[in-house]
Amino acid sequence: EAQVTQNPRYLITVTGKKLTVTCSQNMNHEYMSWYRQDPGLGLRQIYYSMNVEVTDKGDVPEGYKVSRKEKRNFPLILESPSPNQTSLYFCASSTRQGPEAFFGQGTRLTVV
């Protein structure tokens, strides 16, 4: 089954404790991205990657890091999480030509 898998689905952590949210896709897609979803703000892109070892900032990259060492994986790293990063996070993938983006199930992160 074609899918984008995120882990964990739910995470509660404390301010400053480094965490990683994993994302994996099995569709051999070149393009992957991370979004955060907040009430009234819609989906805002954090980072995207056009292929292995190629990443770039989206609209709200502050406080986040990503890496793309393998085509199928695109982890999101919060090195020092803060409460304003409490949000619902989605990973998405698509072919280079697009246009359809396939989304994961989401990770609900709470930073206290």
Partner 1 sequence: QQQVKQSPQSLIVQKGGIPIINCAYENTAFDYFPWYQQFPGKGPALLIAIRPDVSEKKEGRFTISFNKSAKQFSLHIMDSQPGDSATYFCAAQGGTALIFGKGTTLSVSS
Q: Which is nearer to partner 1, 62 or 100 (CB)?
A: 100
Least CB distance from residue 85 to partner 1, whole Å?
19
Q: Which residues bind partner 1 (CB under 8 A)?
A: 4, 31, 33, 35, 40-45, 48, 50, 56, 90, 92, 98-101, 103-106
Cα 87 to Cα 94: distance, rounded to the nearest angstrom: 23
Q: Which amino acid is at 92?
A: A
Least CB distance from residue 36 to partner 1, whole Å?
11
Least CB distance from residue 15 to partner 1, whole Å?
26
- Helices and strands (H and E) in the chain: how many: 0, 11
Q: Which is nearer to partner 1, 44 or 72 (CB)?
A: 44
Q: Give the count of beta carbons closer than 10 Å to the beta carbon of residue 19.
A: 18
Is the Cβ–Cβ distance between 58 and 112 less than 8 Å?
no
